[in-house]
């Protein structure tokens, strides 16, 4: 009997290896485990076995039954997986993570920074939530000055507000160090503006400040002109027009040749050949007094620059709102 059991075990293990699908496996199950199967026949013969051997034979038969069941179950699940296509192909290459890119404003800002750094400017920083003192008062814009109307903003309290320009960083830098100063301060600014193609309630500026003995208007003109050429090309001319800002005296506004027609006049520049960039001037003696610099010894120039506007010129974008909508179809183009 023991030998028969061993033979049945080997026959089963050989035969199951030839099984190719679920149907064949089921036929095999019936053959080995079915009521008319060989195993069942041996169970029936157990009564005739010598009572002394009976427990051992019974145990062997039970072990064999378990082997059959376990092996068939294993094959079954293997065929199932193949059947439904649910299997893991370990050789598949992984999914490519999307590669991030720089926002067009960041790209332009990086370029502006590196141009000024090569001209000897370092980078300064200041808070976006400012006090009335730094945003207005210290910049020679007293409480009831009409210049405040142009820069209405969002107030946290009577005294704390979202900065309307990067000019307060001038004050913070001068308070923290003696001259000479040569910094740019890039950052986000806020105004109470209704959004349209050229206005956004927040936008970006780069402030510039240079203070030392003997700094003149000529230095300001040279630095702005050099910046224009490096940013937009050798043939770009710069125009300076008289203007007014409370924190500079004299003040000016500066324009670059239109980057599309290079000054000839086109639709974008409304046939003028020029594009307004921002304001600048010689630091007002009142500002020096506010930070404790002696205006009899030191002079300096300051300028502001609209980053969004420069990026719009650089990439020929006609609506500032596109920068802030996070639409990947737009952003992927840069």
Residues making contact with ligand DAH (CB under 6 A): 165, 167, 207, 245, 248, 278-281, 302-304
Q: In this complex, which beta carbon is closest to ligand DAH, that of residue 179 or of residue 304?
A: 304
Q: CB of 196: closest distance to ligand DAH in angstroms?
A: 18
Q: In this complex, which beta carbon is closest to ligand DAH, that of residue 41 or of residue 123?
A: 123
Find the length of the chain: 334
Q: In this complex, which beta carbon is closest to ligand DAH, that of residue 104 or of residue 281?
A: 281
Q: In this complex, which beta carbon is closest to ligand DAH, that of residue 38 or of residue 248?
A: 248
Q: Note every long-range contact of 220-228, with CB atoms under 8 Å and residues 24 or more positions apart, other chains counting.
A: 220/280, 220/281, 220/282, 220/301, 220/303, 223/119, 223/301, 223/303, 224/254, 224/280, 224/303, 226/119, 227/112, 227/115, 227/116, 227/119, 228/256
Count of C-beta atoms within a 10 Å radius of residue 100: 6
Inter-CA distances, 31 with 3, 64, 147, 322, Å: 19, 14, 99, 73
Of 278, 283, 290, 251, nearest to 172 (Cα)? Answer: 290
Q: CB of 300: closest distance to ligand DAH in angstroms?
A: 10
Q: In this complex, which beta carbon is closest to ligand DAH, that of residue 187 or of residue 279?
A: 279
Cα dihedral 115→118→121→122 (10° resolution): 100
Q: CB of 168: closest distance to ligand DAH in angstroms?
A: 9
Q: In this complex, which beta carbon is closest to ligand DAH, that of residue 186 or of residue 304?
A: 304
Q: CB of 329: closest distance to ligand DAH in angstroms?
A: 32
CA distance 76 to 27: 12
Q: CB of 133: closest distance to ligand DAH in angstroms?
A: 16
Q: In this complex, which beta carbon is closest to ligand DAH, that of residue 166 or of residue 257?
A: 166
Q: CB of 159: closest distance to ligand DAH in angstroms?
A: 20
CA distance 309 to 183: 21
Q: CB of 333: closest distance to ligand DAH in angstroms?
A: 29
Q: In this complex, which beta carbon is closest to ligand DAH, that of residue 153 or of residue 278?
A: 278
Q: CB of 297: closest distance to ligand DAH in angstroms?
A: 20
Burial class for 3, CB neighbours closer than 10 Å (0-12, 13-18, 19+): exposed
CA distance 18 to 22: 12
Q: At what angle do helices 307-315 and 104-118 cross, to 10 degrees?
A: 110
DSSP H helical segments within 119-259, as ranges?
132-135, 168-176, 217-232
Count of C-beta atoms within a 10 Å radius of residue 75: 19
């Amino acid at each position: 009997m023991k030998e028969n059991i061993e033979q049945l075990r080997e026959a089963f293990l050989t035969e199951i290896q030839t099984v190719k699908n679920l149907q064949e496996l089921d036929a095999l199950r019936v053959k080995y485990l079915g009521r008319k199967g060989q195993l069942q026949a041996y169970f029936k013969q157990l009564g005739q076995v010598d009572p002394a051997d009976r427990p051992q034979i019974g145990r062997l038969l039970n072990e064999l039954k378990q082997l059959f069941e376990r092996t068939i179950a294993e094959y079954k699940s293997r065929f199932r997986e193949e059947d439904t296509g649910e299997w893991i192909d370990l050789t598949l290459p992984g999914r490519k993570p999307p590669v991030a890119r720089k926002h067009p404003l960041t790209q332009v800002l990086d370029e502006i920074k590196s141009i000024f750094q090569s001209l000897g400017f370092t980078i300064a920083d200041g808070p976006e939530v400012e006090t009335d003192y730094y945003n207005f008062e210290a910049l020679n814009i007293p409480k009831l000055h009409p210049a405040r109307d142009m820069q209405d903003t969002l107030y946290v309290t009577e005294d704390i507000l979202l900065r309307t320009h990067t000019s307060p960083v001038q004050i913070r830098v001068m308070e923290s160090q003696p001259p000479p100063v040569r910094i740019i301060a890039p950052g986000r600014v806020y105004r109470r503006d209704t959004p349209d193609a050229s206005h956004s309630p927040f936008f970006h500026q780069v402030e510039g400040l240079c203070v030392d003995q003997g700094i003149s208007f000529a230095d300001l003109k040279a630095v702005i002109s050099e910046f224009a050429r490096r940013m937009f090309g050798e043939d770009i001319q710069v125009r300076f027009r008289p203007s007014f800002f409370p924190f500079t005296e004299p003040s000016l506004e500066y324009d670059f040749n239109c980057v599309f027609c290079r000054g000839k006049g086109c639709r974008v520049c409304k046939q003028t050949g020029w594009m307004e960039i921002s304001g600048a001037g010689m630091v007002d003696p009142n500002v020096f007094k506010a930070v404790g610099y002696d205006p009899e010894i030191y002079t300096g120039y300051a300028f502001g620059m609209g980053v969004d506007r420069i990026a719009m010129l650089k990439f020929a974008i006609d609506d500032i709102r596109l920068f802030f909508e996070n639409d990947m179809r737009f952003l992927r183009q840069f």
